[in-house]
């Protein structure tokens, strides 16, 4: 396995020997990876290869799946996110998540973004909350489209706008890391292009991990790519190297379309 990392970039998260089991079935096998700060890392591989399972390890979303057991450590800063002392709710404020299908709350646009800062007590007053909502919508590239309709229902937005609203909601609490699980798979090509441009802008502020079924998308948006196959991390390195000079025959076969 290629674990080439650039020492000039700080490691944000270190995964060590991560195993995941669904009952007796092992879904991830001994995965170790160093995720760099303020970068986009893409997880690619065939359906069922473990990439989404691994993504959910970072903010303990696997905790909500019955019979799921996670072994190994994921270190962020000097803390193992799997430690029993870690509150998953507070962890998910630090490690936000955007899902495959846009899932705005059945509330107004404003209330969707204000929800996180409100429950975590991040705003001292109404003005501060309004500023947080505006700032998050601007960072998500949505403010110009919704500034005069903040009290409209979020479900009235287009699919692409709803996904950017979900991104705004995720970043409103000031996370360190943003997880994206196939965020464009339900969107048309134009909306996908907008989200991809947004990802490039957001990486200036956040560490982003993205699961994508599109190798073209991984090549466009990421600096690092991890290729998974049958629950194993086969190869991890600079995206340009993984796509043009893969070190592993399995990676080469997937990239060239021989396996899928």
pLDDT score of 259: 72
pLDDT score of 254: 95
Question: Where in the sequence is the domain holding 180, given as residue range(s)?
Answer: 11-255
Q: Per the domain annotation, does 6 fall within a domain?
A: no
For 24-35, the pLDDT digits (tens) are: 999 999 999 999
Q: Per the domain annotation, does 250 fall within a domain?
A: yes
Q: Is 3 helix (H, G, I), strand (E, B) or coil?
A: strand
Whichever domain contains 15, its CATH number is 3.40.50.300
Which neighbouring-strand residues pair with 14?
34, 75
pLDDT score of 260: 62
Write the secondary structure of the chain as one string of H (helix), E (strand) and C (coil).
Answer: CCECCCCCCCEEEEEEEEEEEECCEEEEEEEEEEEECCCEEEEECCCCCCHHHHHHHCCCHHHHCCCEEEEEEEEECCEECCCCCCCHHHHHHHEEEECCCCCCCCCEHHHHHHHHHHHCCCCCCHHHHHHHHHHHHHHCCCHHHHCCCCCCEHHHCCHHHHHHHHHHHHHCCCCCEEEEECCCCCCCHHHHHHHHHHHHHHCCCCEEEEECCCHHHHHHHCCEEEEEECCEEEEEEEHHHHHHCCCCHHHHHHHCCCCC
Q: Per the domain annotation, does 2 fall within a domain?
A: no
Q: Per the domain annotation, does 3 fall within a domain?
A: no
* β strands within 23-125, DSSP E: 25-36, 40-44, 68-76, 79-80, 95-98
| Residues of the chain below pLDDT 50 | 1-8
Q: Per the domain annotation, does 222 fall within a domain?
A: yes
Number of domains in the chain: 1
Q: Per the domain annotation, does 27 fall within a domain?
A: yes
Q: Per the domain annotation, does 147 fall within a domain?
A: yes
For 172-181, the pLDDT digits (tens) are: 999 999 999 9
Q: Per the domain annotation, does 203 fall within a domain?
A: yes
């Amino acid at each position: 396995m290629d674990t080439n990392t650039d020492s000039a970039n700080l490691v944000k998260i270190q995964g060590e020997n991560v195993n995941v089991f669904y009952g007796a079935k092992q879904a991830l096998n001994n995965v170790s990876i160093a995720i760099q700060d303020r970068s986009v890392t893409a997880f690619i591989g065939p359906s069922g290869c473990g990439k989404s399972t691994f993504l959910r390890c970072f903010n303990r979303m696997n905790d909500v799946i019955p019979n799921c057991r996670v072994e190994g450590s994921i270190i962020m800063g000097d803390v193992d996110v799997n430690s029993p002392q870690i509150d998953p709710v507070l962890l998910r404020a630090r490690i936000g998540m955007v899902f495959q299908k846009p899932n705005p709350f059945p509330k107004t646009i404003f209330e969707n973004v204000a929800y996180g800062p409100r429950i975590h007590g991040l705003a001292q007053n109404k003005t501060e909350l309004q500023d947080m909502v505006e700032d998050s919508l601007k960072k998500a590239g949505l403010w110009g489209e919704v500034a005069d309709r903040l009290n409209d229902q979020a479900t009235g937005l287009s699919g692409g706008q709803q996904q950017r609203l979900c991104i705004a909601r995720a970043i409103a609490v000031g996370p360190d890391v943003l997880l994206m699980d196939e965020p464009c798979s339900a969107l048309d090509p134009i909306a996908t292009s907008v989200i991809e441009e947004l990802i490039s802008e957001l990486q200036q502020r956040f560490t982003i991990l993205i699961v994508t079924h599109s190798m073209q998308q991984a090549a466009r948006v990421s600096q690092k790519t991890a290729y998974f196959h049958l629950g194993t991390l086969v190869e991890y390195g600079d995206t340009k190297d993984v796509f043009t000079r893969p070190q592993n025959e399995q990676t080469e076969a997937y990239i060239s379309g021989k396996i899928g």
